Amino acid sequence: MIVPPTIPEGDAIALLGATAAKTGLCALCGSFLQWTHFYRTQRQEYNSGVLLRRLFHLATVPSAYLPNFIHLYFDIGWFGILSGSSISFLSVYAARLGASGLQLGLLSSMSAVVSLLLAIPAGRWLERQDINKAVFRASVWYRLGYLLWVPLPWLFDEQTQVWALIVIALLMAVPLTPLSVGFNALFAAAVPEEWRAYVAGVRNVVYAIAFILSSLGSGYLLEHLPFPANYQIVFGIGFLGAAMSSLHLYFIKPLQADFPPPRRSPEADSAEENPSRPRDWRAALRLDIWGTPFGRILFVFLGFHTAQYMALPLFTLYVVRNLRLSDDQIGLGTALFYLTVLVGSTQLDRIVRRFGHHKVTGFSVAGLAAYAFFLALSKTPLHYYATSLIGGLNYALLLGAYANYLLEEIPEHDRPAHLAWYNVVLNASILIGSLSGPLIGTITGVAEALLLVALLRFFSGLAILKWG
Query: What pLDDT does residue 111 have?
Result: 78
The answer to whether residue 8 sits within a structural domain is no
Identify the DSSP state of 334: H
Measured CA to CA, the distance from residue 290 to residue 310 in angstroms comes to: 25
Angle at 110 between CA 109 and CA 112, to 5 degrees: 65
Query: What pLDDT does residue 119 have?
Result: 79
Query: What pLDDT does residue 331 have?
Result: 74
pLDDT tens readout for residues 128-167 = 888 889 999 999 999 999 999 999 999 998 889 999 999 9
Query: What pLDDT does residue 8 have?
Result: 36
pLDDT tens readout for residues 426-435 = 888 888 887 7
Query: What pLDDT does residue 238 have?
Result: 94
Query: What pLDDT does residue 262 have?
Result: 44
DSSP calls for 125-179? HHTTS-HHHHHHHHHHHHHHHHHTTTTHHHHS-HHHHHHHHHHHHHHHHHHHHHH
Sign of CA dihedral 82, 83, 87, 92: negative
Confidence of residue 194 (pLDDT cuts 50, 70, 90): confident
The answer to whether residue 280 sits within a structural domain is no
Q: In total, how many domains does the chain have?
A: 1
Structural domain of residue 187, as residue ranges? 13-254+289-467
pLDDT tens readout for residues 255-264 = 864 444 444 4
Cβ neighbours, 10 Å, residue 423? 27
pLDDT tens readout for residues 319-348 = 878 888 876 787 788 888 888 888 887 787
- Residue 439: Cβ-neighbour burial (10 angstroms; 0-12, 13-18, 19+): middle
Closest alpha carbon to 400 in 346, 453, 354, 454: 346
The answer to whether residue 4 sits within a structural domain is no
The answer to whether residue 278 sits within a structural domain is no
Contact 15, 320 (CB under 8 A): no
**Higher-confidence position of 62 and 2:** 62
What's the pTM? 0.69
Per-residue burial over 74-104, b if 16 or more Cβ lie within 10 Å, else e, is bbbbbbbbbbbbbbbbbbbbbbebebbbebb
The answer to whether residue 132 sits within a structural domain is yes
Mean pLDDT of 196-212: 84
CATH number of the domain bearing residue 305: 1.20.1250.20
Measured CA to CA, the distance from residue 88 to residue 231 in angstroms comes to: 11
pLDDT tens readout for residues 45-102 = 434 344 444 445 445 777 788 888 889 999 999 999 998 888 888 888 888 888 887 7
The answer to whether residue 340 sits within a structural domain is yes
The answer to whether residue 275 sits within a structural domain is no
- Average pLDDT in the chain: 78
The answer to whether residue 143 sits within a structural domain is yes
Residue 295 has pLDDT above 70, yes or no: yes
pLDDT tens readout for residues 362-400 = 999 998 899 999 999 988 889 999 998 888 888 888 877
